[in-house]
């Protein structure tokens, strides 16, 4: 085939949603626009609907048991793999933070570094937080009494409005490391970076449905999420007093766990205070098991 003399048309990226390990368009057909600090249009992105949220919850529920059933060591490996893939695409994310979000070069590089390091840090906790947070309880009967944390189930989180990359990692890692599945609702000035991150997750051995990412408007989805009967917990960054009240009231009927993160200042996301094993705790349930200590009458031994 002879080469054409026509100028090549650039293939522009369409930013979709991330649901069940796939990148579907929103069923509503609606979209919003993202602009850079200069006011220039940089992307159209999907405005997720209630139906998209319901589809995400179905995908998360389907994936959660298998994810929780993996060994903590394997979950650690996969979070570490997420860090590896993000490291391999660091230049792309630095460019996105600079060109779309207007973050200066050194600060963009620092944010990518911190995002990678935070994934590695939480990966290290996957097989340790159970030992630290669990316990053997002293009881007055001949039993072993052991309390250990287990994942809550399906969690919906409303992402922070600033820190378009590091804020997302800070929201995702402590929720999924224990075996939960996540529906992350992203409303910030640069949501296209969340879908770039979804491509990293997609290439990181993370089972489809463990993390689902919806871009759109939290006002449209927050009440529906709080009322949804198959969501086990809700977390939110930057929640207003009205949003906290709405979530608390609507979540009560289905006995959802609720947690409101303290949002760091925009330039303080990389600080070590923004990561903690205690950020894992709001998304686990403590279960206690009793086991009898049997005795041998002949030897008077107990085991």
Please report, for residues 65, 212, 300, the alpha-carbon distance to residue 58 in angstroms, rounded to integers and kept in the order given: 12, 10, 54
Q: With respect to residue 8, please indicate whether it lies within any of the assigned structural domains.
A: no
Could you tell me which of 65, 50, 16 has the C-alpha nearest to residue 194? Answer: 16
User: pLDDT tens-digit profile of 83-109?
Assistant: 999 999 999 999 999 999 999 889 999
First and final C-alpha spacing in the chain: 80
Give the pTM. 0.92
Q: Any idea what the Cα angle at residue 236 is, between residues 234 and 241, rounded to 5°?
A: 110
Q: With respect to residue 6, please indicate whether it lies within any of the assigned structural domains.
A: no
Q: With respect to residue 3, please indicate whether it lies within any of the assigned structural domains.
A: no
User: pLDDT tens-digit profile of 121-130?
Assistant: 999 999 999 9
**Distance of alpha carbon 144 from alpha carbon 141, whole angstroms:** 9
**Number of compact structural domains in the chain:** 1
Q: With respect to residue 4, please indicate whether it lies within any of the assigned structural domains.
A: no
Q: What is the DSSP letter of 35?
A: E
Q: With respect to residue 7, please indicate whether it lies within any of the assigned structural domains.
A: no
All residues at 6 or more sequence positions from 283 whose CB lies less than 8 Å from its CB, including other chains:
151, 152, 155, 174, 175, 178, 180, 233, 235, 257, 259
Q: With respect to residue 303, please indicate whether it lies within any of the assigned structural domains.
A: no
**Hey, which bits of 160-204 come out as E strands?**
181-186
**Confidence check: pLDDT of 303 > 50:** no
Q: What is the pLDDT of residue 13?
A: 84
Q: With respect to residue 20, please indicate whether it lies within any of the assigned structural domains.
A: yes
Percent of the chain with pLDDT over 70: 96
User: pLDDT tens-digit profile of 192-238?
Assistant: 999 999 999 999 999 999 999 999 999 999 999 999 999 999 999 99
**In this structure, what CATH number is given to the domain that contains residue 230?**
3.40.605.10
Domain that holds residue 268: 14-292
């Amino acid at each position: 085939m002879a080469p054409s003399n026509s100028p090549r048309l650039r293939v522009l990226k369409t930013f979709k949603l991330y649901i069940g390990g796939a990148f579907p368009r929103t069923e509503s057909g609606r979209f919003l626009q993202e602009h850079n600090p200069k006011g220039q249009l940089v992307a159209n992105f999907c405005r997720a609907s209630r139906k998209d949220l319901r589809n995400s919850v179905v995908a998360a529920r389907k994936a959660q048991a298998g994810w929780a059933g993996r060994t903590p060591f394997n979950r650690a490996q996969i979070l570490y793999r997420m860090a590896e893939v993000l490291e391999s695409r660091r230049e792309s994310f630095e460019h996105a933070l600079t060109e779309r979000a207007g973050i200066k070069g050194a600060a963009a590089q620092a944010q990518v570094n911190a995002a990678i390091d935070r994934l590695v840090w939480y990966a290290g906790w996957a097989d340790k937080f159970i030992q630290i947070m669990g316990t053997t309880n002293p009881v007055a009967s001949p039993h072993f009494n052991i309390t250990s944390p287990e994942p809550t189930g399906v969690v919906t989180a409303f992402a922070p409005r600033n820190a378009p990359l590091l804020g997302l990692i800070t929201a995702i890692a402590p929720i999924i490391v224990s075996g939960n599945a996540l529906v992350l609702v992203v409303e910030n000035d640069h949501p296209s970076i969340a879908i770039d991150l979804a491509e990293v997750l997609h290439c990181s051995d993370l089972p489809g449905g463990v993390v689902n990412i919806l871009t759109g408007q939290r006002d449209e989805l927050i009440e529906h999420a709080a009322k949804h009967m198959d969501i086990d917990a809700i977390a939110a960054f930057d929640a207003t007093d009205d949003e906290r009240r709405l979530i608390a009231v609507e979540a009560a009927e289905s006995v959802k766990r609720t947690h409101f993160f303290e949002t760091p200042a925009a330039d303080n996301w990389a600080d070590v205070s923004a990561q903690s094993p205690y950020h894992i705790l709001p998304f686990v349930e403590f279960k206690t098991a009793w086991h009898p200590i049997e005795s041998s009458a002949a030897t008077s031994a107990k085991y």
